[in-house]
Amino acid sequence: MITSAPHRPLAIAHRGGALLAPENTAQAFRAAALAGADAVETDIRLTHDGALVCVHDSDLRRLCGDPRAVADLDLAMLRRLLPPVMTLAEAIAVSAPLGLLLDVKRMEPEVLPPILAAVQAAEAGPRTLLGLRDLGLVAAARALAPAATILAFAADPDSAAAVRAAGADWFRLWQGDATPERAAAVRAAGLRLAVMVGQPRAVPLPEYPPFPVGTIDRDGLERLRALAPDAILLDDPRLLAGETEPPAAPPQASP
């Protein structure tokens, strides 16, 4: 069971703690643990030869300047291009005893059995959250693993009831969508609430806070605390653990 201090939400280190060390790496996981994180989040993709790996983007342009897709590379080639890359099994091992949120980037139900098998083999089920982006995938996971804990990365911020009906236990809201009304709707549906901070897109949306994904300022953090979410996903878990101060809001352009 993932637990936090009683006075604050769970601090989930986004991409393992992307402001502490290179994202989705063992180094980030270890830094997040030292920083007081309750859990780490990592992204799960499939290589061409069926390896489950912790990579956020669909290709390697941003990470190492290679345009090829992760799905077109075998694990050996991926390791040559991106040496710190972890497999799911390695991420489960390195993350212990923290909680582990797996953001599954694939939508096909066929991806679920090997993920569930890896979690079961490591006896990591009680500390694992399975993050899924499709209602059909949520339902499939619930059928395959009745005891799994599922977090829905739903595109529609007003779909809590449908998400619960599909079998999820948690609901993710983006910071810009996290209103008191939506938080209440999530709880009314019988779900726990996780809030992802920052922008949801590479091209900033004006209705969201003016920060990249994973980053938040002190005002934004206080507003989120007022909603009493069960967890907050952010790049620097020290902001919730109380070891450092969030950045000040960027200056606004003159009208």
Q: How confident is the model at residue 208 (pLDDT cuts 50, 70, 90)?
A: confident
CA Rg value for the chain: 18
- The mean pLDDT of 155-177, rounded to a whole number, is 97
For the cut 60, the answer to whether the pLDDT of residue 177 exceeds it is: yes
Tell me the per-residue pLDDT of 113-155, one tens digit each, with 9 for 90 and over. Answer: 999 999 999 999 999 999 999 999 999 999 999 999 999 999 9
Please report the pLDDT score of residue 205 as a whole number: 87
Average pLDDT, the chain: 93
Please report the pLDDT score of residue 226 as a whole number: 95
Which fold would CATH assign to domain 10-240? Answer: TIM Barrel (3.20.20)
**Residues 78, 83, 95, 220, CA torsion sign:** negative
Please report the pLDDT score of residue 3 as a whole number: 60
Spatial neighbors of 163 by CB under 8 A, at least 6 apart, are 135, 138, 152, 154, 171, 189, 191
